[in-house]
Amino acid sequence: MRSLNLLLLPFVLLAIAIAQESPSQTPSKPPFKLQEVMIPVRDGVHLQTAILIPVDQQGPLPILFRRTPYGVPEKPLEQMPSSLKELAQDGYIFVIQNLRGRFKSEGKFDLTSWVDLNDPKATNETTDAYDSIEWLLKHVPNNNGKVGMYGVSYDGLTTALTLLHPHPALKAISEQASPVDQWMNDDDHRYGALRESYDFEYAVMEQADKNKNTHFDFDVYDTYEWYLDLGPLSNINGKYLHGSIPYWNSTVDHPDYDDFWKKEAWVRQLHASTVPNLNVGGFWDQEDPWGPWQIFRHAEESDPQHSNFIVAGPWYHGEWQAAKGDSIGLIPFGGHETSREFRENIEAPFFRYYLHDQGEKPQWQASTFQSGSNTWHTYPAWPPKEAKSTNLYLYADGTLSFTAPDSTSGKKFRQYVSDPANPVPYRARPISPTYPAGDWRTWEVADQRFVDNRPDVLSFVSAPLDHDLTITGPLAADLFASTSGTDSDFVVKLIDVYPQDAQKNSWNPDEGPKPGQYAQSLNGYELPIAMEVRRGRYLDSFETPHPLTANKPREWNVPLRDHDHVFLKGHRIMVQIQSTWFPVIDRNPQKFVPSIYQAKASDFVSATQRIYCSPEMPSHLVLPVMP
């Protein structure tokens, strides 16, 4: 819902794409005529809407509609953005609308996505979309009566919310990186663990000023230092916001999975595929990696027309809208321009079939770009039925094995001390602010060697693989762990360790490397494939937290989401475990308190954490291994 770094805001993406085009590509005339209108909805509010009509339109065209909180074009586009090129070739009237309460749109903006279909007087993003489509069909000349919707992140959310009550003319949608349940996963929490830096900085950006995106003014560059000096979370309002940001107030007022969050979790109302939907997600989406899969699975409960599809690739948040998408961070995609290929071979044909009645319906249910092998794949069902659930066991000597530990395995556990006063950073310091986006886009593929030698991070490593290992489907960790405290977090990372000769030196041996060239090598790179956190107070109930019993082992199930990756021959598998991940996840005091958001500085204590690796308590990962 609140999940687009600024370089990926849909309208800003258009501006970036335009700025990157060379002068020689500039057409002699703008590709669209621009009309701005104020569309009335059922409660009398008027919504600012930009209509982009192709200058060379010859006959009736379908409407492609996007609803956003980030602003709409105020003048005609000078040239065709790369993110629209493939769609525009088929011919569409593009419509972009500001949500109520944003920029010139009237009404009140609300960051929650509550939809009450039983209240005929309620207005929300679902009803605003319905009313706007009704108006567009009647007032936009030369439309063919068919409407599609698409969008990334918040724009993906407003697209997906139409599934709850779609207009009859809505013939196809593509929700892309839409959140669905802000307490359970996606932007703001991970199973109740607060995504502190993101939630705070995004709430300020969206609610500090109605008419613009506002960045919090940090007085130090390294936000790790700023958040650590901040102390308990109550100091955010006490020292800085003073109750001025409604969404932040709601966050700290509702620490547990109560009715506030359950109403916000709109996907709980979705149980059927009501409109053909192309769900799109990124395997390294640093904001909304979970929502598209949940929408896909909820719609799959009833899909008689087989019109519910999922596409996933090796992308950060919204990278599939980039011009090429030929890499993420330092990780290349084998010469593939995955973003262009997605738009050209999947997105454009999807809308072409449903809105232009041309081409063929997708013959697959899932399409992925598989990292490691760097190849596109399609699957008739997801997860693939041939994937075999396989356990990868953690050993107390720091190794990994597909063989379960037995009585001869030696030590029964490994341990470390977790100190909230010295938390493990989630990326290498200095940590820049989330917005304007810098390293934030690609931190989930960052080399994990930056924490290798910390005493509060355990690493388990396999021997070099003697064959390729393909994992396709949902992953999970099943830990047996204890803490000397009464509350705790455990973070699990599954990592692909490249061999030391993964990237041959490309420089002239007589000249040596150019400045910075050696540092860019993939030799020995530790690439995260999946990472997640679980909070101990919620192991028994998300609604009612309970303290842990000190030093008593518990089973911790840590879902690691869906992936499609090949660990290549010669690579090694690594698992890292830690108890802090700061400041992307708030610090657990490690002493149980009724609400962490009201914890005092004296509540934060060090704790000894144990990971058990015995035949009786075999900590392991569950991998969907393909034959």
Q: Which residues contact 242 (CB under 8 A, 6 or more apart)?
A: none
pLDDT of 19 reads 36
Q: Are 494 and 560 in contact (CB under 8 A)?
A: yes
Q: Are 32 and 55 in contact (CB under 8 A)?
A: yes
Find residue 309's DSSP bridge partners. 278
Distance from C-alpha of 1 to C-alpha of 182, rounded to nearest angstrom: 8
Share of the chain above pLDDT 70, in %: 92
CB neighbours (10 Å) of residue 68? 22
Q: In the predicted model, is pLDDT for residue 212 greater than 50? A: yes
Q: In the predicted model, is pLDDT for residue 79 greater than 70? A: yes
Q: In the predicted model, is pLDDT for residue 611 greater than 80? A: yes
CB neighbours (10 Å) of residue 507? 11
- Both tokens of residue 21? 């085009």
pLDDT of 502 reads 87
Burial readout 79-107 (b: 16 or more C-beta within 10 A, e: otherwise)? ebbbbbbbbbebbbbbbbbbbbbbbbbbb
Q: Coil, strand, or helix at residue 351? A: helix
pLDDT of 29 reads 80
Q: Are 425 and 224 in contact (CB under 8 A)?
A: yes
DSSP collapsed to 3 states, 519-580: HHCCCCCEEEEEEEEEEHHHCCCCCCCCCCCCCCCEEEEEEEEEEEEEECCCCEEEEEEECC
Nearest Cα neighbor of 317 from 76, 100, 154, 142 is: 154
pLDDT tens-place string over residues 530-540: 999 999 999 99
Query: What average pLDDT does the chain have?
Result: 92
pLDDT tens-place string over residues 546-583: 999 999 999 999 999 999 999 999 999 999 999 999 99
Amino acid symbol at 97: Q
Average pLDDT over residues 604-620: 98
pLDDT of 358 reads 97
pLDDT band at 519 (very low <50, low <70, confident <90, very high): low
pTM of the model: 0.93
Q: In the predicted model, is pLDDT for residue 124 greater than 60? A: yes
pLDDT of 23 reads 42
Distance from C-alpha of 343 to C-alpha of 347, rounded to nearest angstrom: 5
Share of the chain above pLDDT 90, in %: 84
Percent of residues in the chain assigned helix, strand, coil, to nearest 5:
25, 25, 50
Average pLDDT over residues 305-319: 97
pLDDT of 504 reads 64
Average pLDDT over residues 203-212: 76
Strands lying side by side in the sheet with 93-98: 32-40, 46-54, 93-98, 61-68, 143-152, 170-176, 277-282, 308-313, 366-370, 375-379
Q: In the predicted model, is pLDDT for residue 46 greater than 60? A: yes
Residue ranges of alpha helices (H) inside 5-110 are 10-20, 85-88
CB neighbours (10 Å) of residue 209? 10
CB neighbours (10 Å) of residue 237? 16
| Domains within the chain, CATH numbers bracketed | 6-180+265-379 (3.40.50.1820), 388-625 (2.60.120.260)
Structure-token match 């144990």, residue found: 610
- Both tokens of residue 211? 């008419």
pLDDT of 21 reads 39
Amino acid symbol at 89: Q
Amino acid symbol at 423: P
**Opening angle at CA 174, ends 173 and 175, nearest 5:** 115
The DSSP 8-state label assigned to residue 463 in this structure reads P
Out of 10-14, 60-64, 352-356, 357-361, which region has the weakest mean confidence (pLDDT)? 10-14
Q: In the predicted model, is pLDDT for residue 597 greater than 60? A: yes
pLDDT band at 620 (very low <50, low <70, confident <90, very high): very high
DSSP collapsed to 3 states, 472-493: EEEEEEEEEEEECCCCCEEEEE
Q: Are 236 and 194 in contact (CB under 8 A)?
A: no
pLDDT tens-place string over residues 83-115: 899 999 999 999 999 999 999 999 998 878 789
pLDDT of 5 reads 39
- Both tokens of residue 466? 């003697």
Distances (CA, A) of 129 to 92, 93, 126, 177, 210: 18, 16, 5, 19, 21
Nearest Cα neighbor of 306 from 385, 387, 366 is: 366
Q: In the predicted model, is pLDDT for residue 525 greater than 60? A: yes
pLDDT of 8 reads 39
DSSP 178-205: ----TTTSSSSEETTEE-HHHHHHHHHH
pLDDT tens-place string over residues 384-424: 999 999 999 999 999 999 999 998 888 999 999 999 999 99
pLDDT higher at 508 or 161: 161
pLDDT of 114 reads 87
Out of 28-32, 324-328, 616-620, which region has the weakest mean confidence (pLDDT)? 28-32
Amino acid symbol at 293: W
**Opening angle at CA 427, ends 424 and 430, nearest 5:** 95
Q: In the predicted model, is pLDDT for residue 506 greater than 70? A: no
Q: In the predicted model, is pLDDT for residue 340 greater than 50? A: yes
pLDDT band at 17 (very low <50, low <70, confident <90, very high): very low
Nearest Cα neighbor of 415 from 606, 193, 194 is: 606
pLDDT of 206 reads 77
**Opening angle at CA 501, ends 496 and 505, nearest 5:** 125
CB neighbours (10 Å) of residue 501? 12
- Both tokens of residue 364? 């697959």
Q: Cα 572 to the chain's mean position, in Å?
A: 26
pLDDT of 457 reads 98
Distance from C-alpha of 443 to C-alpha of 457, rounded to nearest angstrom: 18
Find residue 483's DSSP bridge partners. 609
pLDDT tens-place string over residues 455-490: 999 999 999 999 999 999 999 999 999 999 999 999
Beta strand 170-176 with 277-282 is parallel
Q: Based on DSSP, count helices (H) and strands (E) in the chain, helices before strands.
A: 12, 25
pLDDT tens-place string over residues 149-173: 999 999 999 999 999 999 999 999 9
Q: Coil, strand, or helix at residue 250? A: helix
pLDDT of 523 reads 95
Q: In the predicted model, is pLDDT for residue 515 greater than 70? A: no
Q: In the predicted model, is pLDDT for residue 521 greater than 90? A: no
Rounded to 10 degrees, what is the CA torsion of 267, 268, 273, 276? -10
pLDDT of 461 reads 98
Q: Cα 11 to the chain's mean position, in Å?
A: 19
Q: In the predicted model, is pLDDT for residue 10 greater than 60? A: no
Q: How many CA atoms lie within 13 A of 176 on its CB side?
A: 26
pLDDT band at 341 (very low <50, low <70, confident <90, very high): very high
Average pLDDT over residues 591-600: 98
